Amino acid sequence: MRIATWNVNSIRARLDRVLAFLDRSEADVLAIQETKCKEEVFPADAFAEVGYYSCAAGISQWNGVAILSRSEPQDVQVSFPNCPTFKDKVEPRAIFATCAGVRIGSLYVPHGRALDDPHYQYKLDWLARLKDFASAQLESGQDRLALMGDWNVAPEDKDVWDMEVFKDSTHVSAPEREAFAAFSDLGMVEVTRDRAEGYTYWDYRRLRFPKNEGMRIDWMYATAALDKAVTNVQIDREERKGKGASDHVPVIVDFDL
**Rounded Cα–Cα distance for residues 218 and 248 (Å):** 8
Cβ neighbours for 183, distance < 8 A, ≥ 6 positions apart: 131, 134, 147, 190, 221
**199, 218, 248, 254: which is the annotated catalytic residue?**
248
**28, 150, 159, 227: which is the annotated catalytic residue?**
150
Number of domains in the chain: 1
Is 34 annotated among the ligand-binding residues?
yes
Is 150 annotated among the ligand-binding residues?
yes
Is 119 annotated among the ligand-binding residues?
no
3-state secondary structure of 117: coil
In this structure, what CATH number is given to the domain that contains residue 174? Answer: 3.60.10.10
Summarize pLDDT for 209-249 with one digit per residue, the tens. 999 999 999 999 999 999 999 999 999 999 999 999 999 99
Residue 178: give the domain boundaries: 2-255
Summarize pLDDT for 90-122 with one digit per residue, the tens. 999 999 999 999 999 999 999 999 999 999 999
- Asked about 108 being catalytic, the answer comes back as yes
Provide the Cα torsion 108, 171, 243, 24; round to 10°. -60
State pTM to two decimals.
Answer: 0.98
| Amino acid 70: pLDDT | 98
- Asked about 248 being catalytic, the answer comes back as yes
| Amino acid 105: pLDDT | 99
Which residues of the chain have a pLDDT value below 50? none
Is 248 annotated among the ligand-binding residues?
yes
